[in-house]
A and B are shown apart, each in its own frame.
Chain A
Amino acid sequence: MMRPKQAVVAWLLAGSVLLSVCAAWAAEPSAPAAKPSGAPIKVGHLASLTGSEANFGQSCDRGVQIAAEERNAAGGVLGRPVEISVVDDQSKNQEVNNCMMKLIQQDQVVAVVGEIASSNTMAAIPTAQKYKVPLVTPGSTNPEVTKRGDYVFRICYTDEYQGRVIARFAYKRLGTKNAAVITDQASAYSINLSKIFTDEFTKLGGKVAVEVAYKKTDSEYNAQVNQALQAKPDLLVLTGYYTNVGNIVQTARKAGFEGPCVGGDGWDADTLYQIGGKALDNTYFTNHYTPDDPNPKVQAFIAKYKSRHGAVPDAMAILGYDAAMVVFDAIQRAGATEGPKIRDALAATKDFVGLSGTITIDAERNAKKNIVVVGIKDAKQYLKEAWKDE
């Protein structure tokens, strides 16, 4: 039994502790962060700002810029402001090396965010390895990418996972059994995704009736579509990018194909809906995020992005934001700006809460992430299914 006096003291103590906790909690968000000072820390962004995948590069860059802004408003990195140097590789493989050299030698960046297209990321790896500059890809899903060097990291899921989900979705949910696979033969991403899909779909008991190839510079797909429809498929699998997918679906619909079409995250860009229009009804693709995500952080980002760019961000904007934030976080934890130290900090990234999910970098320098299946109706996307492994 406590004496009254002691009890009062104890209550007072408890109360004051509680109060101070409350005060600290209340003060934290509003306390002005120390303004970053000193020479900026430069982070490169290698992006396709023009050319065939311009949508990817531009969206991603908007995400990266918002990330840098928010980080600077919150005190920067190591007390210094961060600055993004963006270079445009024009969606061309052969430009990537020049761009990387410019970032590393002229702009002296400490790490690089980029690219989206797997072929372009792979082209950047030799330079990143040579100069020991960490390369964090926001959206390259080809599994090969992170195997090419220990300075390469990925914050999105891989095609091994994505391809399996597309196959399972098509087989189990859509009930399709006879697929025609149409591949962009100039894209490492597309070739690999087609292969993974084919393996999984066949394993499940489906049949790939015909495989057809095109190149992203082709502008006309009648020949390939005729060839694919010859096999009377009940499903078209389009593993390429939005640039061509809308056009191919249009061509297929005009040739009389009414069944479903499926594809991967390469579909996700406003341009797809603009080109494909009504023809895209009954098509589905796997993606990294959906604008329907109730997470308040995601909704806040969407609102900010919308007010600035007048459009709902696509997955590449979200991934660009996350990739940049992961890099800033790693530099902060490394406490230094040397490549090898940032690399080690990136490799140790654990439970980083991003917009596209929680990011933990594994031993293969990949992140295990969630996948959503998006459906299209009236040229608008909707959440078809948040995929759960079964």
Chain B
Amino acid sequence: MDWFISQTISGLTLGGVYALIALGYSLVYGVLKLINFAHGDVYMVGAIAAFGTACAFGWGQTADEYVRSGVMLAMLAVAVVSCLGLGYVIERFAYRPLRRAPRLNSLITAIGVSFLLESIFQLPGVFGASPRGFPQCELPLGPIRLAGATVRLEQLLILGGTLFFLLVCRYIILHTRTGLGIRATSFHHDYARLMGVNVDRITSLTFLLGSGLAAVAGVFVGLYQHQVDPLMGVNAGLKAFTAAVVGGIGNLAGAVLGGILMGLSETYIAGSAFSAFRDAFAFALLILILLVRPGGLLGSVAPEKV
């Protein structure tokens, strides 16, 4: 039982992070029908921006609660702002010029942007190739005992934070004019334009929203996983992309569901006697789900109109 509780909390934490990243894939796919393969690297940039801020403010060296909370907010702010900028630049210069080109071209550009970011951050002057430890901060409470299981305060904080940002995202999509624009654009570009939606602007905003969520995921992961490196986005991006597909790409609730499912299944397997099959099992699950529901859990398969 205690095994189950610890692993469930770990799985939910990891799943929440996947969900935050997966939303970015789904949002962009919704409006552009493009798999933004550079998204995992935007998340990496978020984590590294948070790392830089943490180092600059001496996070981990101070015990003052107010200073710590301040630094934490600063980390979030710097990460989000840098990722917003990055998301905008990527969309404006790598994808927008190709808007009318065949979709495959943008896909290749996305892969190119991904490699570009990874290579830039591997340069010794920028970040360097080897991983670096995230400054550690002793949280006021040690491991928390919950029905015999050990739960860490960071895990609860990250879970709460993830939930908060998911609700913010939901609010933006469902209750703001921008959200209405995003929904209209993902329905049909030309119809949206006829209704007076500025599709280019909405597309930019969608990228910004996705990048912002990735930045938040990056900050959480830096805090939680103790280390950042320029290739951390590759695996996380792949898993989050898978989560988005499992949930039904383009469907936001699906992305969250897929992320949680991915995190949980991975953690249960990794924490069992079959730990060597961590990824194999997670991806086998993906294949199984897609065999039964080709559109993903919450997605629908619309016949392609010719």
Q: Which A residues form the contact surface with B (CB < 8 A)?
A: 49-52, 54-55, 58, 185, 212-215, 217-220, 222-224, 226-227, 229-230, 243, 246-247, 250-251, 254-256, 269, 271, 274-279
Given A223-B270, A256-B143: A247 touches B226 (CB 8 Å cut-off): yes
Interface readout for B223-237 with A: 1 if CB under 8 Å, 0 if not? 011110101101110
Instruction: Give Cα A210 to B278, complex, Å.
Output: 17
Q: Is the CB of A227 within 8 A of B270?
A: yes
Among A215, A218, A227, A250, which residue has its beta carbon within 8 angstroms of that of B226?
A250
A223-B270, A223-B278, A227-B270 known; 4 other A-B pairs, CB under 8 Å? A50-B122, A227-B272, A246-B227, A254-B152
Q: List 8 A-B contacts (CB under 8 A).
A: A213-B276, A214-B278, A219-B221, A223-B271, A247-B226, A250-B226, A255-B152, A279-B136
State the B residues within 8 Å of A (CB): 3, 6-7, 10-11, 13-14, 122, 128-133, 136, 142-143, 150, 152, 154-155, 221, 224-227, 229, 231-232, 234-236, 266-272, 275-276, 278-279
Please report the C-alpha to C-alpha distance between residue A329 and residue B76 in the assembled complex, in whole angstroms: 56
- Which of B130, B221, B278 is A54 in contact with, Cβ under 8 Å? B130
* Given A219-B225, A220-B224, residue A275 in contact with residue B142 (CB < 8 A): no
Residue pair A275, B227 in contact (C-beta under 8 Å): yes
- Establish whether residues B227 and A227, one from each chain, have CB atoms under 8 Å apart when the complex forms: no
Contact partners of B269 in chain A: CB under 8 A? 223
Q: A226-B271, A227-B275, A246-B133 are in contact. Are A251 and B235 (CB under 8 A)?
A: no
Prevailing SS type, chain A contact patch: helix
Neighbour of B271 across the interface among A185, A224, A271, CB < 8 A: A224
Q: A219-B225, A246-B226 are in contact. Are A52 and B143 (CB under 8 A)?
A: no
- Which residues of chain A have C-beta atoms less than 8 A from B152's C-beta? 254-255
CB pair A256 B142 closer than 8 Å: yes
Q: Enumerate chain A residues within 8 angstroms of B136, measured Cβ to Cβ.
A: 250, 277-279
Could you tell me if B132 and A275 are in contact, using CB atoms closer than 8 angstroms? Answer: yes
B229 contacts which chain A residues (CB < 8 A)? Answer: 52
**Most chain A C-beta atoms within 10 Å of own C-beta, residue among B122, B128, B133, B268:** B133
Minimal Cβ-Cβ distance residue in B for A254: B152
| Nearest Cβ on chain B to A161's Cβ, whole angstroms | 26
Could you say which residues of chain B place their CB within 8 Å of the CB of A224? 270-271, 275
B224 surroundings in chain A (CB, below 8 A) = 220
From B7, B132, B270, B278, contact of A274 by CB (8 A): B132
B270 close to A219 (CB less than 8 A): no
Name the distance in Å between B158's Cβ and chain A's nearest Cβ.
Answer: 11
**A224–B268 CA distance with the chains assembled, in angstroms:** 9
Contact A223 B130 (CB under 8 A): no
A278 to B135, CA, bound (A): 11
A50–B154 Cα gap in the complex (Å)? 31
Nearest-neighbour CB distance to chain B for A213, whole angstroms, equals 4
Q: A223-B267, A227-B270, A246-B227 are in contact. Are A213 and B275 (CB under 8 A)?
A: yes
In the docked arrangement, what's the CA distance between A50 and B118, Å? 11
Q: Chain A: which residue is nearest B5 at the CB level?
A: A226
| Complex CA distance for A227 and B273, rounded to whole angstroms | 8
Q: How far is the CB of A191 from chain B (nearest CB, A)?
A: 10
Could you say which of B13, B229, B279 has the most chain A C-beta atoms within 10 Å of its C-beta?
A: B229
A51 to B122, CA, bound (A): 8
Give the CA-CA distance A227 to B276 in the complex, in Å. 13
Nearest chain B CB to A235's CB is how many angstroms away? 18
Alpha-carbon distance A227/B268, docked complex (angstroms): 10
Q: How far is the CA of A250 from the CA of B235 in the complex (A)?
A: 21
A92 to chain B, nearest CB (A): 11
Among residues of B, the one whose C-beta sits closest to the C-beta of A278 is: B136
Contact A256 B131 (CB under 8 A): no
For A246, the chain B residues whose CB sits under 8 A away are 133, 226-227
Q: A51-B129, A52-B131, A254-B143 are in contact. Are A275 and B226 (CB under 8 A)?
A: yes
With contacts A220-B14, A227-B271, A254-B152 taken as known, whether A49 is within 8 angstroms of B133 at the C-beta atoms is: no
Contacts of A55 in B (CB 8 A): 130
Inter-chain contact B122/A256, CB cutoff 8 Å: no
The answer to whether A277 touches B271 (Cβ under 8 A) is no
> Within the assembled complex, what's the spacing in Å between the Cα atoms of A13 and B227?
72
What residues of chain B lie closer than 8 Å to A217, measured between beta carbons?
Answer: 234-235
Q: A256 vs B225: C-alpha distance in the bound complex, in angstroms?
A: 16
Is A214 in contact with B275, judged by CB distance below 8 angstroms? yes
- Chain B hits for A218, CB < 8 A: 235, 270, 278
Q: Specify which of A51, A269, A278 lies most central, judged by the most chain B CB atoms within 10 Å of its CB.
A: A51
How far does the alpha carbon of A220 sit from the alpha carbon of B221 in the complex, in Å? 9
A220 with B275: CB separation less than 8 A: no
Contact among B10, B122, B234 for A223, CB-based, below 8 A: B10
How many angstroms between the C-alpha atoms of A122 and B130 in the bound complex? 23
Q: Which residues of B contact A274 (CB under 8 A)?
A: 132-133
Nearest CB in chain B: distance from A309 CB, A: 12
Contact B150–A215 (Cβ < 8 Å): no
Complex Cα distance A279/B227, Å? 14
**B226 proximity list for chain A (CB < 8 A):** 246-247, 250-251, 275
- CA A254 – CA B141 in complex, angstroms? 10
